[in-house]
Every structure is written in structure tokens, then in C-alpha cells.
Amino acid sequence: MIKKFIRKILGVKENTENGKSDESGKSKAKNKPKVLGAKEHGIDPKLVSNNAIRVTQTLQENGFKAFIVGGAVRDLLLGVKPKDFDVATNATPEQVKRLFRRAFIIGRRFQIVHVMFGQDLIEVTTFRGAAKNDAPTDEHGRVLRDNTFGEQHEDAVRRDFTINAMYYDPSSETVLDYHGGIADIRKKTLRIIGVPELRYREDPVRMLRVVRFAAKLQFSIDAETRKPIPVMAPLIDNVPNARVFDEMLKLLMSGHAMACLQQLRKEGLHHGLMPLLDVVLEQPMGERFVTLALANTDERVRQGKTVSPGFLFASLLWHQVLEKWEAYKAAGELSIPALHLAADDVLNTQTDALALQRKIGSDMRDIWAMQPRFEKRIGKSPYKMLENSRLRAGYDFLLLRCASGEIDNEIGEWWTAFIQGDEAERVRLLSIKPKAKVGEVPAAKKRRPRRSNNRRPKTAASE
């Protein structure tokens, strides 16, 4: 009674159907899930991965509990084929590993097991227990390590959103719903489990996840889930860059990149948080290029084609490179070395800020470095380009530059004809005098040369 009174004074909510719990958002979890049979949830078993079924079945045959969980259940309920499947179980990582031929324990923030079937990967996690009060946190309350195992209902309360906290058992075709996820799916609502402020403090990346899911699923964000975001957004600064980068990559490769970026802006999440996003969202010159690049990426993802992060980031940062390239040339550097210096500058800044992996960085450099080579449309040079293993990426990038109006369409058309043409056609093309030059910046965008002894000129983006 007294407890209830204190809660009332503090304005802390009681347990509700949505699983909102006490001030910790953890200790008063709803222990009994709503159980839905096949007729109620309507999941099409044909959309379920056979490998995920193999994993749950094997675990169950060995006396463990095992369910498909998280985003896969959410997508199945929405009638969408999930792109990957996660399994949750009460078996420990060691116990899981023993049951499968190709299983690897991955010790990132939480220990999980990767079970491989050819190229297909099923991620298996052990139910996680209620977060301990003494779990180590940083000075802002971000949980640093918390790897205790627990009961299924405890696992459910630690998941991020109600729609991500459902469990599907393929053998009985039942869905266990602990936090009103089904109702929220029907209402197309994203609702965080527990007290939003506390959940964002524990893990600020959840703010980026809300945005990604809202844009991708076209769901609305529940008012209480949304409210603290603009105030708490700066907490993302304290998250390790590599983790923010992973989330950004998911966002950009979700097939709804443009919608996600617009939503980030709407929620006040883009500013000053990620240097790359500032560049992308606030560069008037490159806006058309970036918009096209993202539309292109979204289209590829939706068609089930692969998207290379290197190509994506090369596109997002191209206008920063262009600007620096121009500045180096204006400072007296020759075109090709100037491009390399510009690429170095951009990669150095972004590699630190974004934890860009080395491989992505070198892919980006390759794509950029090929651009002036498209300019050489005489002699042996174009034939050498045909042998370049990265031609496809470089050429696609060239076409984006044409489509954005940065360079003349004629260059893209010439290369399309050259790549597709037979020998006679190629000889004919080589005899045409090129009209436009690649890398030529339209007169209006040219700057006055800056005279300086410093080899590294300052540009807006480097200030």
C-alpha cells in the first residue's frame, strides 16, 4: 500500500498490458505470456527457414526449450519473409555448441552461438536473466556487461520493443507474447518495453533502432517511447563508434535508407551524433547525388541484390571528396595525386569517427580512384579498365555521377557502349573525340584558387 502511494507520488507506472513495469522496467515483468495458436497468429509456415526449424527441433529433442525470436517473429506476423532468424533457448552456449557440427561461440557484448548451415547462419542466444542492479555501467548509466542467464520471461523483458519480444515455436506453431506485441503489431505501433528513459540510458542505440523500425515497417512511435528521444539523443555519443557504425549500416541497408535518414532528422537524432550523417544530410551540393545513391541502394535491397558497404559509403562521402579534390587542385596539386590526398583526408576523418573497417575504406578508395581513369578514352587505357576486377562498382558509380548531373551523360553512355560492345564497336568508340571531361566541376561550383604554401588546403568539410 505504502509502496503504491510512493509510486503514485513519483509518477511511476504500474504494470500494464504492455508490459510497462516498475521504475526499473525489469523486476515486475509479466511472467505469463499470451499464447496464440496458428489460427490466431496466422503465420505462414512456408516463410520459416528450414535451418531455424532444424535448430529449434534439435534443441527440443535434447530436452531444451527453443524458439524463433525477435525480428523474425515480428516479420512472420507481418507476412514478410525474415532476412535472418534468431533462436532463443535455455541451453547454455556450451550446450548449444555441442549439438551442432558447425557452431561457434561468439563472445561479443553477450555470448551467442553461430550455427552455420553452408552460408546460412542461425544466431542462438541463451535466455538472459533480469539485469542485475550491480551490473557495471558507464557514468551515464549505459550497461557495459551483463551476461547472466535467466528465465524466458526475464529474457522477454530485456528485449527492446514489444513487437520484438515474441517467441515462435515451429513444432507447435504457437506464439508466446509477453508484452502485448501482437496488439502493437496490429496497431502498427513501436513501443519500448519498460520505462523509456531507463531503457535508452541502459543502451542509447535503442533510439536509433526505434527510428530504423519506424521507417522500415512504417509504424508509428508510441508517444511515451518517442518523448525522451530529443533530450536523450546526446547519450549516443558515449556508445563505442563500432557499435553505432553497425547500427548505421543496418539502417542504410534496410531497404528504407532514405526514409530512415528523414526519420532520424525528424526525431532530432542526426545532429552532431554521427559525423557522417551531418555530412550526408547537410551538404546541399551533394544532396542529389546522395538521394540517388540511397534510392539506388534501397531498390537493390528490395530486389534482393547485394549492396556493398564500400560502394554505399563511397557514395555518401563523394561530395566531400570532390570538394577537397578541387581544393587540392586549386592549391597546385596535379589531378590524380590531388584525388588521393582528398581520399586520404576523408577516410582519415571518417575512419576514426565511424570505425570504418579497413576493407570498407579500401573499397571506397578503389571506387574513387577509378573515376579519373574513366576520363581516358583513347589507346589501351579503356581495355585495361575492362580487366579491372572493380570495374562494375566504379562504372555504377560513374553512372550515378552522370545521373546526378555532376558530369555529362555522354561519358556514362560511352562506357556502357564500350563495356557491352564487340571489338569493332570498341574500335569505333575509341575513334570518337570525347566531348566532356570526367572530374570537370561545373563552372558555377568552381572556387577561386587558394594560394597557400600549405599542401593541405582547408575546406568547409575539414573545418
Question: Could you list the residues that contact ligand ATP (CB under 6 A)?
Answer: 70-71, 84, 86, 159-160, 164-165, 203, 205-206, 250
Write down the least CB distance from residue 374 to Mg ion, Å.
39
What cell does 324 get?
A: 577537397
Distance CA 20, CA 23 (A): 9
Task: Reply yes or no on whether 246 is catalytic.
Answer: no
The span from the CA of 108 to the CA of 205, in Å, is: 16
Nearer to Mg ion, 71 or 457 (CB): 71
* Nearest-approach distance from CB 104 to ligand ATP, in angstroms: 17
Please answer whether residues 367 and 397 qualify as being in contact, where contact means their C-beta atoms are separated by less than 8 angstroms: yes
Nearest distance, CB of residue 30 and ligand ATP, angstroms: 16
By beta-carbon proximity to ligand ATP, the closer residue of 112 and 321 is 112
Active-site hit among 22, 84, 396, 408: 84
What distance in Å separates the CA atoms of residue 182 and residue 186, rounded to the nearest whole number?
A: 6
Catalytic residue among 146, 160, 345, 363: 160
Q: Choose between 84 and 366: whose C-beta lies nearer to ligand ATP.
A: 84
Half-sphere exposure of 308 (CA within 13 A, CB side): 18
The listed partner (Mg ion, ligand ATP, none) that binds 270, CB under 5 to 8 Å by sort, is none
- The Cα 184–Cα 192 span in angstroms is 11
* β partners of residue 68: 87, 168
Beta strand pairing status for 111-117 and 220-221?
A: unpaired
Question: Which C-beta is closer to Mg ion: that of 84 or that of 203?
Answer: 84
Q: Which of 86, 146, 155, 184 is catalytic?
A: 86
Which of ligand ATP, Mg ion, none sits in contact with 205, Cβ below 5 to 8 A by type?
Answer: ligand ATP
Nearest to ligand ATP of 169, 203 (CB atom): 203
To the query of whether residue 177 is one of the catalytic residues in this protein, the response is no
Nearest distance, CB of residue 301 and ligand ATP, angstroms: 12
373, 385 Cβ separation under 8 angstroms:
yes
Helix or strand holding residue 120 (H, E): strand 120-126
CB of 5 to ligand ATP, least distance (A): 32
d(CA 376, CA 196): 57
Q: Which residue, judged by CB position, is nearest to ligand ATP in the bound state?
A: 71
Query: Rounded distance, CA 350 to CA 343, Å?
Result: 10
84 is catalytic: yes
Q: Cite the active site residues.
A: 84, 86, 160
